[in-house]
C-alpha cells in the first residue's frame, strides 16, 4: 500500500516519504533531550550539591546558567536557521547539546558543571526552535497536523518520564547519568539528520542578524541573575553595606542592558523582539501572567525537591514519582479544555487556574501530609490541574490578542517571557531562601549552609530541618502572592474581546501549549483561523488605499 500523494499549495515543496519521517524522527529525538532535561535535572540538584560540595549560590548557577543562555539566544535562534539553513542549525544544536551533556556528566566540580550547562543552553537555543520548523517545512498543510500530533505525543511522553527517570538515576545510580542519558538521543538524532535528510534553502533570509540585541539580552539576563544569586549568599548584616555592590551592581547593569536592548530593537533592520506587539495592553497583560506563573513554577520546581529530601527525608526517586502528579491531569484536561474555554471563557480559565496553583503551593507546606510522598503527589496533582487550565487558555489568548500574521512572533515573545520569568524567579527565590534560612537556623546549621546539613546530628540536625522548612514556607507565601497577582491581572486587565477568537480542542493543539512549559521554542503553527479584528482593520485600510490609487 502506497501513501497517497500529498496535495501541495503554492510555495510548498514535496519531500520524499522517507525524508519526511526522518525529519519527524530527528525532531522528536532532538526535542526530547530538552524536554527530559527540563524535568529531570531539577530532581538531581540536591545530589549534585552533596557530591560536589556546592554552596547554595553554586547550585543556583547550575540550575540557572542553562536558562540564561537559552532565554538570551532563543529569539535569535530562528533567525540563525533562516540565515544559515535550518537543518544545519538544528544539527549544530543537537551536537552541542549532546557534547555538553557528556561534559556535564564528567564534571569534577560545580564550576565545570556550570560551564557545561551553559553549553547545553546554547545547544537548546539552536535545536528547539528548529525542531517544529523542520516538521513544518517537510510536511504539507494536509499532513502537518498528523506530524505535529506524533511530535506532541512523543515529546509529552518524554516530559512525563523525566521526573521518575531522573529521580531513579540520581538516587540509585548517579546524578551524572541524568546527563549521560541525553547522549544516545542526540547521537541518533544527529545521524538521522545528517544521513537521511538533505539541506534545503530556507524560504526567506533575514536582512541581517540582530547580534547586538542578542548580546544585550544575554548581558541583561546574566547581570540580573548574577546579582540575585550573589544576594542569596550575602548575610542580612552585610546586605546593604559597601559589599552590596557585589550584588546590586550587576543587577543595575542587567537592567540597563535590557533597557538599551529595547532601544536597539526599535532601530534594528531585523529585530528579534518585535516591539509593535507591545502596543496592545491585552498582549502585555497575558505576558505578565506568563512571566509570573512560569517564574513561580520554575522557582518551586527547583526548591521543592530539595526541601522534600533535606527536611522530610524523601528519596530523590520518591520525589520523582510524586512529580508524576503534575503531568497526570494533562490527558484529561487536553480532552475537555476546548469545551471549557467555549463554556467559561479564557479569562475565567486563567483566573481559576492561577487560584488553583495558589492552593497547590499552600498544600506543599501547610497540610499535615506535606512531607510524605502521598502529600507531595497530591500537591503536584493540584498544581497540574491549575496549570492544565491555564496553559491552553494562555496559548489561545496570545493568539486571539494578536493579528494572524504576528502569531509566530507573539508566540516567541510569550515563550521568552516565560523563560525570563523562570530565570529571574529561580535566582530571586534563592535569595529568599538564603535569607530566611540564615534567620531561622542556629549556629551549626547556618555554618553548614542551606541544603548541606547531611553531616549534622541530634539537635543541630533538627534545627537544620526546621530552618529548611521555614525557608520553604517563605517561598510558598511569596508564590501564593504571585498567584494572587495572576488572578487580578487575568480578571481585570484582560477584556472580553479576548473571547472572540476560535478555540481549538484537538489534542495536538493543546499539548503544544503544555510542552511550552519545558521548552523555549516559539511555536511555528498559526492555529487561529478566525480573522482577528486588528487584521480586519488592516485589510480594510489596505483595500481603501488601493481604491484611492
SS (H, E, C) 426-490: HHHHHHHHHHHHHHHCCHHHHHHCCCCCCCCCHHHHHHHHHHHHHHHHHHHHHHHHHHHHHHHHH
Strands, DSSP E only, in 48-111?
none
Higher pLDDT, 88 or 228: 88
CB 193 within 8 A of CB 91: yes
Range in 294-308, 456-470, 503-517 with the lowest mean pLDDT: 503-517
Q: Which helix (H) or strand (E) holds 351?
A: helix 346-366
- What mean pLDDT do residues 165-190 have? 89
DSSP at 234: S
Taking phi first (over 0 means left), then psi (-120 to 50 degrees means alpha), and beta for anything else, what does residue 280 get? beta
- What mean pLDDT do residues 230-256 have? 69
DSSP at 500: G
Q: Residue 80: how many CA atoms within 13 Å on its side-chain side?
A: 22
Q: Is 504's pLDDT higher than 50?
A: no
215, 285, 223, 274: which is closest to 248 by C-alpha? 223
CB 401 within 8 A of CB 286: yes
Annotate 246-289 with three-state secondary structure.
HHHHHHHHHHHHHHHHHHHHHHCCCCCCCHHHHHCHHHHHHHHH
Q: Is 263's pLDDT higher than 80?
A: yes
Question: Can you state the angle between helices 329-344 and 373-400, rounded to 10 degrees?
Answer: 40
Q: What is the pLDDT of residue 517?
A: 52
Higher pLDDT, 335 or 103: 103
Residue 526 banded pLDDT, cuts 50, 70, 90: very low
> What SS3 class is residue 239?
coil
- What mean pLDDT do residues 391-408 have? 74
Q: State how far Cα 455 lies from the chain centre.
A: 35
182, 191, 200, 196: which is closest to 66 by C-alpha? 182
Q: 9-18, 199-208, 325-334, 440-449 — which one is most confidently predicted on average?
A: 440-449
- Locus of grid cell 496553559: 391
CB 158 within 8 A of CB 29: no
Q: What is the pLDDT of residue 499?
A: 64
Query: Tens digit of pLDDT for each residue in 95-133?
Result: 999 999 999 999 999 999 999 999 998 998 888 778 877
CA distance 536 to 514: 30
Burial 420-433 (b: 16+ CB within 10 A, else e): bbbbbbbbbbbbbb
User: What nine digits make up the cell of 318?
Assistant: 520518591
Amino acid at each position: 500500500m502506497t501513501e497517497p500523494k500529498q496535495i501541495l499549495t503554492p510555495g510548498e515543496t514535496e519531500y520524499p516519504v522517507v525524508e519526511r519521517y526522518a525529519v519527524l524522527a530527528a525532531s522528536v529525538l532532538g526535542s526530547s533531550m530538552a524536554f527530559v532535561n527540563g524535568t529531570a535535572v531539577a530532581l538531581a540538584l540536591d545530589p549534585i550539591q552533596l557530591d560536589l560540595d556546592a554552596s547554595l549560590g553554586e547550585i543556583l548557577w547550575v540550575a540557572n546558567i542553562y536558562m540564561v543562555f537559552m532565554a538570551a539566544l532563543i529569539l535569535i535562534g530562528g533567525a540563525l536557521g533562516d540565515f544559515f539553513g535550518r537543518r544545519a542549525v538544528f544539527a549544530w544544536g543537537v551536537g552541542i547539546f549532546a557534547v555538553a551533556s557528556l561534559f556535564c556528566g564528567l564534571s569534577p566540580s560545580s564550576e565545570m558543571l556550570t560551564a557545561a550547562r551553559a553549553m547545553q543552553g546554547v545547544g537548546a537555543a539552536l535545536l528547539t526552535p528548529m525542531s517544529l520548523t523542520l516538521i513544518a517545512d517537510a510536511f504539507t498543510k494536509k499532513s502537518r497536523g498528523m506530524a505535529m500530533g506524533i511530535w506532541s505525543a512523543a515529546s509529552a511522553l518524554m516530559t512525563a518520564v523525566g521526573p521518575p527517570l531522573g529521580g531513579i538515576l540520581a538516587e540509585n545510580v548517579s546524578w551524572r547519568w541524568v546527563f549521560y542519558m541525553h547522549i544516545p538521543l542526540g547521537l541518533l538524532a544527529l545521524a538521522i539528520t545528517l544521513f537521511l535528510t538533505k539541506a534545503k534553502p530556507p524560504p526567506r533570509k533575514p536582512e541581517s542578524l540582530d547580534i547586538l540585541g542578542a548580546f544585550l539580552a544575554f548581558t541583561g539576563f546574566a547581570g540580573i541573575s548574577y546579582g540575585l544569586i550573589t544576594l542569596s549568599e550575602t548575610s542580612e548584616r552585610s546586605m546593604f553595606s559597601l559589599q552590596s555592590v557585589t550584588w546590586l551592581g550587576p543587577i543595575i547593569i542587567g537592567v540597563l542592558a535590557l533597557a538599551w536592548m529595547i532601544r536597539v530593537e526599535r532601530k534594528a533592520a531585523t529585530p528579534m523582539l518585535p516591539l509593535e506587539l507591545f502596543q496592545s495592553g491585552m498582549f502585555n497583560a497575558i505576558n505578565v501572567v506568563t512571566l509570573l506563573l512560569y517564574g513561580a513554577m520554575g522557582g518551586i520546581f527547583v526548591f521543592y525537591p530539595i526541601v522534600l529530601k533535606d527536611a522530610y527525608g524523601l528519596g530523590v526517586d520518591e520525589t520523582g514519582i510524586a512529580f508524576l502528579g503534575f503531568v497526570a491531569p494533562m490527558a484529561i484536561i487536553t480532552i475537555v479544555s476546548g469545551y471549557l474555554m467555549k463554556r467559561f471563557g479564557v479569562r475565567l480559565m486563567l483566573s481559576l487556574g492561577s487560584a488553583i496553583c495558589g492552593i497547590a503551593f499552600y498544600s506543599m507546606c501547610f497540610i499535615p501530609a506535606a512531607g510524605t510522598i502521598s502529600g507531595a503527589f497530591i500537591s503536584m496533582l493540584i498544581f497540574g490541574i491549575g496549570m492544565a487550565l491555564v496553559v491552553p487558555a494562555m496559548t489561545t489568548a496570545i493568539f486571539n490578542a494578536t493579528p494572524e500574521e504576528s502569531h509566530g512572533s507573539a508566540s516567541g515573545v510569550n515563550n521568552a517571557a516565560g523563560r525570563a520569568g523562570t530565570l529571574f524567579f529561580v535566582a530571586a527565590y534563592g535569595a529568599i531562601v538564603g535569607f530566611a534560612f540564615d534567620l531561622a537556623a542556629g549556629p551549626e546549621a547556618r555554618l553548614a549552609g542551606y541544603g548541606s546539613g547531611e553531616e549534622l546530628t541530634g539537635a543541630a540536625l533538627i534545627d537544620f530541618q526546621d530552618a529548611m522548612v521555614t525557608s520553604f514556607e517563605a517561598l510558598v507565601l511569596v508564590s501564593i502572592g504571585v498567584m494572587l497577582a495572576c488572578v487580578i491581572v487575568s480578571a481585570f486587565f484582560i477584556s472580553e474581546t479576548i473571547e472572540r477568537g476560535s478555540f481549538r480542542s484537538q489534542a495536538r493543539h493543546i499539548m503544544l501549549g503544555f510542552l511550552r512549559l519545558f521548552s523555549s521554542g516559539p511555536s511555528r503553527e498559526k492555529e487561529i483561523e478566525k480573522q482577528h479584528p486588528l487584521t480586519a482593520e488592516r485589510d480594510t485600510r489596505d483595500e481603501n488605499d488601493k481604491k484611492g490609487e
